[in-house]
Amino acid sequence: MSQTVLITGGAGFIGSHVANELLAHGYRVRVLDALASQVHGADRKRPCYLHEDVELIRGDIRDADVLDRALNGVVAVYHFVALVGVGQSMYQIEQYTSVNNLGTAMLLERVAKKRIRKLIVASSMSVYGEGLYELPSGEICTTAGRTVEQLRCHEWEMKTSGGQVLRPLPTPEWKTPALASIYALSKFDQEQMCLITGRAYGVPTVALRFFNVYGPNQALSNPYTGVLAIFASRLLNNQRPMIFEDGAQLRDFVSVYDVARACRLALESDAADVAVNIGSGETITIRQIAERLAAVLDKDVEPEITGNYRVGDIRHCYPDISLAKKVLGYSPAVTLELGLEDLAAWLSEQQAHDNFQEMQAELAGRGLVV
């Protein structure tokens, strides 16, 4: 008999792909999702991309009765429920903390009683803040940061007190967290709450620290979602992608198909009590990714470099994925070239409301854009 797995937040972008991956490997999948309007639109209907074999329970993770119903008979839980958005989290503080932190607490109280087989929680690269750096002397720096004065002067790179530029390195899981936003704090709380509870009650738990995930089913009209979705929304409306700072920020963009496979491997492996980076192993600048997306969409549109800075943004962060290879048997299979082509094919059939300017005005009005 097939085993039932619960995905909280499973009607969203990553969760829907994890559902597909699990169904393809013989699991039964149940999803608990509030279908928030910011992600799913004003009608908040079951998304057409959610596989027909997925059992959907619509409800809030903070509703005890809904949670009990969702957890009935499941052998494992993927906890993906979270409000997502660095900038938005800095002014919707109560809402982000309530959904992300309190929602996790209510889930864990029930998981502790049920003693499920595995708990996998979606964490984020945001917990690192800045990535790992190397000083000119060759020493490793885990606490690099930039002052507001630097940013106002458009001095974007990490520097020593003497003005020497630090070299970014792949960021391993042992790097000291540097929580630069309420969102980052809530994601770190989510992963640590799950790991602590899992250890205490004997529930094997894995926190997957996702880097920049992209692919079909992203919420294109949500201006607080992933950067590639925001760029895609602009380009589909023949608008220039807007880039903060100078566009030279280094990131790792990982296909959602690789992420979904990593999620399944986390369930089926012996990995427990560990946080693991999930990325592609490739680095690219924000400007380059905007240009490559425009090219695959056949849009002759150059990105606009704003020179502005958002509170909570970081300069360089990309992962060391050696631990994922070791404990999960994970290896990325989708190159950026193939992933962008697949994304472009999906985007060719989509429409998007470009809400970037409204987001920009909201943040600027609150002093969150420098």
Residue indicated by tokens 């925001």: 230
| Each residue's pLDDT expressed in tens, for the chain with a length of 370 residues | 579 999 999 999 999 999 999 999 999 999 999 998 778 777 888 999 999 999 999 999 999 999 999 999 999 999 999 998 878 888 999 999 999 999 999 999 999 998 899 999 999 999 999 999 999 999 999 999 988 888 889 999 999 888 899 999 999 999 999 998 899 999 999 999 999 999 999 999 999 999 999 999 998 877 667 788 889 999 999 999 999 999 999 999 999 999 999 999 999 999 999 999 999 999 999 999 999 999 999 999 999 999 988 877 899 999 999 999 999 999 999 999 999 999 999 999 887 676 667 767 676 677 767 7
| Three-state DSSP state, 358 | helix
Question: Residues with catalytic annotation?
Answer: 183
What mean pLDDT value characterizes the chain?
A: 92
- Domain ranges within the chain, ordered by starting residue: 4-365
CATH number of this structure's domain 4-365: 3.40.50.720
pTM of the full predicted structure? Answer: 0.94
Angle CA 319–324–325, to nearest 5:
110
**Beta-bridge partner residues of 5:** 29, 76
Strand order in the sheet with 140-141: 140-141, 132-134, 167-169
Say if CB 303 and CB 295 are below 8 A apart. no
Would you state the structure tokens that stand for residue 89, as one six-digit string? 């989290």
* Strand pairing category for 167-169 and 253-255: unpaired
